[in-house]
Amino acid sequence: MDFSIILCSLLRGVGYDAYVVSGYASQKLTTMDERESVYPLEKMSLDEEEGQTENNADSGKKEGKYRVKPLRQLKSNFLTKQAERQKALEAANEQKKSNEINAEENRDAQDEEVDELQGLRIHFWVLVLPGMRDIADPFFIETTTAKVYEIEDSNFHGVEAVFSSQNYWVNMQTCYDGLKGISFDLGDNSKWEFVLLENSQPGRALRKDELDSKTGAGKAEDDEEDDSKKQVLDLPPSWVERFEISREKFELRTPSGSKTLTYKNANVVCVSHNPIKSHSI
Digit-coded pLDDT (tens) for 114-149: 777 777 889 999 999 988 888 888 999 999 888 899
Residue 131 lies in a domain: yes
CB-based contacts of 87: which residues, under 8 Å, 6+ apart? none
Mean pLDDT taken over the chain: 76
Choosing from 206, 226, 261, the residue where a domain stops is 206
* 154/260 same-domain check: no
CB-based contacts of 60: which residues, under 8 Å, 6+ apart? none
* 21/136 same-domain check: yes
Residue 274 lies in a domain: yes
Give the pairing type, strands 17-25 and 258-262.
unpaired
Q: Please give the order of strands across the beta sheet that includes 168-171.
A: 147-149, 139-142, 122-129, 17-25, 156-163, 168-171, 192-194
Looking at the structure of the chain, the number of domains it has is 2
* 141/275 same-domain check: no
* 262/134 same-domain check: no
| E-state strands within the chain | 17-25, 122-129, 139-142, 147-149, 156-163, 168-171, 192-194, 258-262, 266-271, 277-280
Pairwise CA distance, residues 45 & 43, whole Å: 5
Residue 29 lies in a domain: yes
Q: What percent of the chain has pLDDT over 90?
A: 13
* 128/262 same-domain check: no
Choosing from 144, 175, 206, the residue where a domain stops is 206
Distance of CA 15 to the CA centre of its chain: 19
* 198/268 same-domain check: no
Residue 41 lies in a domain: no
Least confidently predicted of 64-73, 80-89, 202-211? 202-211
* 176/123 same-domain check: yes
Q: Is the pTM of this model over 0.75?
A: no
* 125/260 same-domain check: no
pLDDT in tens, 204-234: 444 445 445 544 554 555 555 555 555 556 6
Q: Please give the order of strands across the beta sheet that includes 258-262.
A: 258-262, 266-271, 277-280
Highest mean pLDDT among 61-65, 189-193, 195-199: 189-193
Residue 149 lies in a domain: yes
Q: Are the CB atoms for 191 and 173 separated by under 8 Å?
A: yes
* 146/274 same-domain check: no
Range of the domain at 193: 2-33+118-206
